[in-house]
Structure 1
Amino acid sequence: MRPILLQGHERSLTQIKFNKEGDLLFSCSKDHVINVWYSHNGERLGTYDGNNGTVWTVDVDTESRFMVSGAADNTLRLWAVATGKCLYTWEFPTAVKRVAFSADDKQIVCITEQRMGYQCAIRVFNINREGDGTDQSEEPAFMFNPIGSKVTVCAFTLTPNVIVTGHESGKVALFNLKSGEEILNNERAHMDVVTDLQLSADRTYFITSSKDKTARIHDIQTLMVIKTFTTETPLNSAAIAPGKPYILLGGGQDAMNVTTTSLRQGKFETRFWHKVLEEEVGRVKGHFGPINTIAVHPGGTCYASGGEDGFVRVHHFDDSYFRAKPYGDLEIED
């Protein structure tokens, strides 16, 4: 697979995201800029300027009409995807570390950091999709402070007013947005901080990655661990490949330790694991530092990885990937 190298950031990547059709790829980094690219050829379509700090997180709705971003300048911003205009800005006391749209695009959830005497907070805003999108409510529809370990990642489930969260202690939990109470948790989901959480296409299960060197697939209703993938390096991101029984893992050592090891030992490859058999099936090299974020095309035709080196690499899968028989001669019918 010859990668397309996207050079549009001056500092390390924090999150990348495909839109629902997969023709656009959004990338955000520590250089205050959000870029959008054509995924098929790597052409840069435009930038979203306006943040005054590291942009930690980005998400786009199913219509590719609105994008939302969270940054270290303590703001949550709503953007028009087509024009690059910032439609609305919410301001908070601390940085916004994670944002996500609900399945129906009507709500966004954001996590603000625990810092300077402020508690970690989860806020949910109702998005007014009428008109040009500039008329939004300043106040959150729901807000609560999760008790115990700090929340690092979150996403909406298909159950109304329920979100799934990953925490610094390694636990995953389900929260009721209206009451703010924890419905269910799995304290031992991971042994260290949960670094990424991505849902399956039908939102019935999700994958988490962690600094404890494992990635796990969980059932979204029971939070039971279904599969565990153990590597020898701390993981920063994990994604599920649609249409094939693979998951993609990315990580590497912390940035400050990178200079002391060779590339081979730094383990900066994207790892492909068999989702069912829990076996590693391949690796793709390329980054000169830890991989911070991985996203897979919704159609399963390519994937992108963003690294500490400031590059996004888009890999379109070869024919051999689609011809491969992941279960041997066994044919799986959809």
Structure 2
Amino acid sequence: MKPLILQGHERSITQIKYNREGDLLFTAAKDSQPNVWFTINGERLGTYDGHRGTVWAIDVNWDSTRVLTAGADQTSKLWDCETGACVTTYDTKSSSRSANFSYCGNLLEYTTDRQMKHEPMVSVHDVREPADATPALQFNIETKTMSKPMCSLWGPLDEYIITGHDDGTLAHWDTKTGQLLHSVREHTALIRDMQFNRDQTMLITASKDKTAKLFDTATLRHLKTYKTDRPVNSAAVSPTALHVVIGGGQEAMEVTTTSTRVGKFDARFFHLVIEEEFGRVKGHFGPINSLAFHPNGKSYSSGAEDGFVRVHNFDQNYFDYDIEYQR
């Protein structure tokens, strides 16, 4: 399984994401310049210039006409996907941590950190309105019950927003009123990433507590746990197989003070139902920060602290593999 190596960032990767068709891969990093690549050959299509610091998150809408980024420079930006022009800049009072388009593409949401006495917030905007228009919804996260959000997703039919927090809490927020619908705390440490399965009935979370967990989207009921021996930074569910890929690793500053095994930076594959690991892929020289399956399930990509994005096309033996069930 020889990968395509995408080398276009000068600092560590923060998030990668495919568009719906899977012909484009969008990457964000700490070097302030999000990139877009052709997945078929790894050619860089362009760069979105405008941020002045780390870009924490990136998303693309359903028809690949707009790109949304969240930056540490206290802005979230809306871009024209084809030309790379900045369409709208949403100024925030603290760093933007996550950003996502709604399913219809007319709404977007981003979350902000607690910083300089500003409480963490969730903001929803209509992309058809100017940047200085009043947000369609904006509310503070109740810090007495939970800490700041590290990642977020739109729920099915855009009825609620799901947030993952740095104390391990998952929460549903009503998109009309901003009220907390319900929350659970299955993780014991920071949640770094959340991703849906193909039909959005389940979501998988990646946590610093060395586990990835599968939840029912509507009820947040805990379904499965995938355990590792290192912090998990990202996890994704295959759109075509009962497989989960998990990536992470100990941060470089902590590697020398822990077990030598913990410093290895493999992408690890688990069976979705059985929760057993069946494969690993090596290659990165730093912790894996983001993972994504291609929409057709025939490949996956990983972005890491080393600044490289690796696009792996699966060999035939991956598709032939079938776990042995004990009766």
Q: TM-score, normalised by structure 1?
A: 0.93
CA change 1:327–1:163 in 2 (3 A) is farther
Deviations 1:19-76 (A, max 9, x none): 0000100101001111111111111111111111111100000100000001011111
Structure 2 match to 1:41: 41
Q: Deviations over 1:96-148 (max 9, x none)?
A: 000011111121110011011000000011122xxxxx955632100001113
The residue type paired with residue 138 of structure 2 is M
What letter corresponds to residue 278 of structure 2 in structure 1? V
* 1:199 paired residue number: 196
Question: Does structure 1 retain, via aligned residues, the 8 Å contact 2:255–2:262?
Answer: no
Give the match for residue 51 of structure 1.
Answer: 51
Asked if 2 retains the 8 angstrom alpha-carbon contact of 1:26 and 1:36, the reply is yes
Q: What letter matches 1:163 in structure 2?
A: I
> For the residues of structure 2 that align with 1:261 and 1:243, how far apart are their CA atoms?
37
Q: Which residue of 1 aligns with 2:135?
A: 140
Matches within 5 A, 1:248-327: 248-258=245-255, 264-326=261-323
Q: Which residue of 2 aligns with 1:79?
A: 79
Alignment-derived partner of residue 131 in structure 1: none
How far does residue 252 in structure 1 lie from its aligned partner after superposition? 0.3
Q: Distance in 1 between matches of 2:4 and 2:160?
A: 38
The CA distance in 1 between the partners of 2:262 and 2:114, in whole Å, is: 34
Tell me the distance in 2 between the aligned counterparts of 1:325 and 1:103.
Answer: 34
Amino acid paired to 1:273:
F
Aligned to 1:244: 241
SS in 1 for 2:36: strand
Q: What one-letter code is carried by the residue in structure 1 that aligns with 2:197? A: S
1:83-94, aligned counterparts within 5 Å?
83-94=83-94
Identity, in percent, stands at 45
Deviates more, 1:191-200 or 1:314-323: 314-323
Instruction: Please report the TM-score for the alignment, with normalisation by the length of structure 2.
Output: 0.95
Within-5 A mapping of 1:20-31 = 20-31=20-31
Letter in 1 for 2:45: L
Secondary structure of 1:306's aligned partner: strand
CA–CA separation in structure 2 for the residues paired with 1:24 and 1:235:
25
Is 1:171 paired with 2:169? yes
Distance in 2 separating the partners of 1:274 and 1:137: 47
Figure out how many residues of one structure are paired with residues of the other and give that number. 324
- Tell me if 1:215 matches 2:223: no
Read off the aligned partner of 1:281 and give its amino acid letter. F
Structure 1 residue identity aligned to 2:5? L
Query: In 2 relative to 1, CA 8–61 (structure 1 residues): closer, same or farther, beyond 3 Å?
Result: same
Distance in 2 (CA, whole Å) between partners of 1:213 and 1:329 is 27
**Aligned CA distance change for structure 1 residues 47 and 177 (closer, same or farther; 3 Å):** same
Pick one of 162, 181, 184 that aligns with 1:183: 181
Q: Counterpart of 1:70 in 2: which secondary structure?
A: strand
Unaligned runs of 5+ in 1: 129-133
Is 1:108 aligned to residue 108 of structure 2?
yes
CA RMSD of aligned residues (A): 1.8
Displaced runs of 4+ in structure 1, greater than 3 A? 134-138, 258-265, 326-330
Task: Note if 1:123 corresponds to 2:123.
Answer: yes
SS at match of 2:292: strand
Distance 1:16 1:144 in 2: 27
Any unmatched runs of 5+ in structure 2? Answer: none
